[in-house]
């Protein structure tokens, strides 16, 4: 439907439709309501800005994520972005993407720009946006005073902020327990940083070790570069002084580094080193051997977040925090896991 169809159905001139779209006060209230009803019914959208002026909503959501060209941006972020945009289109909402680095000042300035654009809501993708220092999260709290803020795999206790968390602690615990059940005892935990998600994965790793009566060795917990070549070199250097028979990596890209190291040194996977990654990206199926990994169901989190967003915009009371369960996907990089009453991984695919 175009503007001519709207004018015909509403029984007004094209000029009147244009005035309604642009918020002119030269249209009676009754006529304005009639035109807006036709626009709403037909889904006619001349453009996002004009729609915002006419209906007091931009029908546009801002999405904030790390710059995808950054080597620290894992492949799961782009998959999550696709899920968010697809779901928003289902509700006839547009999205505007903002990409930033890891500097807190950049995040704060980008949020300030987003707030100035009359967006209907903001979706923040990734737990690295939530800082350990509460003062550094003030920019998110201030943004939430102007519009609802939705966090994917992040959590912040603040008014008008809605968190959608993957159960990283339990999934990492299950993954570690599966490695233990397959006979591994020296499990190297490779992570990328100190975000909320990374901390919860580390907690789950420690939970499984404690449950198995194994001492947590701080030397086996290491921060690994995300670049595959850099990561492979890092693991090779590590292996000169440290023995391990399994690796739990908090990103599939980190797991790829371990595979490259193993292939370069003719180390058999999973016979000599068992390996589990995280995020179940396409990388997990495009390598040899194929990678066992945790599917943290970020797509489900994105779908639920957009659904909740629509509820909030309608004034419906919505839970401030939602947890999404994860699944462990076994492929070729792990040894068979026998049935073991002490280590029954939950949610195993």
Cα–Cα distance measured from residue 227 to residue 141, given in angstroms and rounded to the nearest whole number: 33
Q: Which two tokens stand for residue 36?
A: 């807006």
The answer to whether 138 touches 78, Cβ cutoff 8 Å, is no
221: phi then psi, degrees, rounded to nearest 5:
-110, 110
Q: What is the mean pLDDT of residues 294-320?
A: 91
Can you tell me the distance from the alpha carbon of 190 to that of 249, in angstroms, rounded to the nearest whole number?
Answer: 5
Q: What is the sign, positive or negative, of the torsion defined by CA atoms of 62, 63, 66, 68?
A: negative
Hey, what CATH class is 168-291 in? alpha beta
Between 343 and 63, where is the model more confident? Answer: 63
Structure token pair of residue 271: 């016979």
Give the pLDDT confidence of 202-235 residue by residue, as tens digits.
999 999 999 999 999 999 999 998 789 999 999 9
Answer whether the bond into residue 289 is a cis peptide, omega within 30°.
yes
Cα 258-264-270 angle, rounded to 5 deg: 50
Residues of the chain with CATH 3.40.50.2300: 60-166+298-326, 168-291
pLDDT band for 347, please (50, 70, 90 cuts): very low
> Which residues, other chains included, contact 71 with Cβ-Cβ below 8 Å and sequence gap of 6+?
226, 227
Neighbours of 305 (CB within 10 A): 25
| CATH no. of 3-55 | 1.10.260.40
Instruction: Give the CATH number of domain 60-166+298-326.
Output: 3.40.50.2300
What is the tens place of the pLDDT at every residue in 35-72?
888 887 876 655 444 444 444 556 899 999 887 665 55
**HSE value, Cβ hemisphere, 13 Å, CA-based, for 105:** 0
């Amino acid at each position: 439907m175009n503007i001519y169809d709207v004018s015909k159905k509403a029984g007004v001139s094209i000029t009147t439709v244009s005035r309604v779209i642009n918020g002119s006060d030269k249209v009676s209230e009754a006529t304005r309501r009639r035109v807006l009803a036709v626009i709403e019914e037909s889904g006619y959208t001349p453009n996002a800005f004009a729609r915002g002026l006419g209906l007091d909503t931009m029908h546009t959501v801002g999405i904030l994520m790390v710059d995808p060209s950054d080597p620290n941006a894992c492949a799961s972020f782009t998959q999550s972005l696709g899920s968010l945009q697809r779901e928003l289109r289902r509700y006839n909402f547009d999205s505007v993407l903002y990409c930033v680095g890891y500097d807190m000042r950049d995040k704060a300035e980008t949020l300030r720009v987003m707030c100035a654009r009359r967006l209907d809501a903001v979706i923040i993708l990734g737990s690295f946006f939530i800082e350990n220092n509460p003062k550094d999260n003030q920019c998110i709290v201030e943004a939430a005073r102007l519009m609802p803020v939705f966090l994917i795999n992040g959590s912040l206790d603040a008014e008008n902020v809605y968190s959608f968390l993957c159960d990283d602690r339990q999934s990492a615990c299950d993954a570690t327990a599966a490695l233990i059940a397959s006979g591994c005892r020296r499990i190297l935990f490779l992570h990328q940083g100190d975000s909320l998600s990374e901390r919860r994965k580390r907690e789950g790793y420690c939970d499984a070790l404690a449950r198995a009566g194994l001492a947590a060795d701080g030397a086996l917990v290491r921060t690994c570069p995300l670049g595959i070549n850099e990561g492979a070199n890092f693991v090779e250097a590590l292996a000169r002084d440290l023995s391990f028979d399994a690796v739990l990596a908090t990103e599939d890209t980190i797991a790829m580094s371990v595979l490259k190291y193993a292939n370069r040194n003719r180390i058999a996977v999973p016979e000599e080193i068992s390996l589990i990654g995280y995020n179940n990206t396409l990388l997990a199926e495009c390598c040899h051997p194929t990678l066992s990994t945790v599917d943290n169901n970020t797509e489900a989190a994105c779908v639920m977040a957009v659904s909740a967003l629509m509820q909030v915009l309608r004034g419906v009371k919505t839970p401030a925090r939602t947890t999404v369960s994860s699944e462990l996907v076994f492929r070729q990089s792990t040894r068979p896991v026998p049935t073991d009453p002490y280590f029954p991984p939950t949610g195993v695919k």
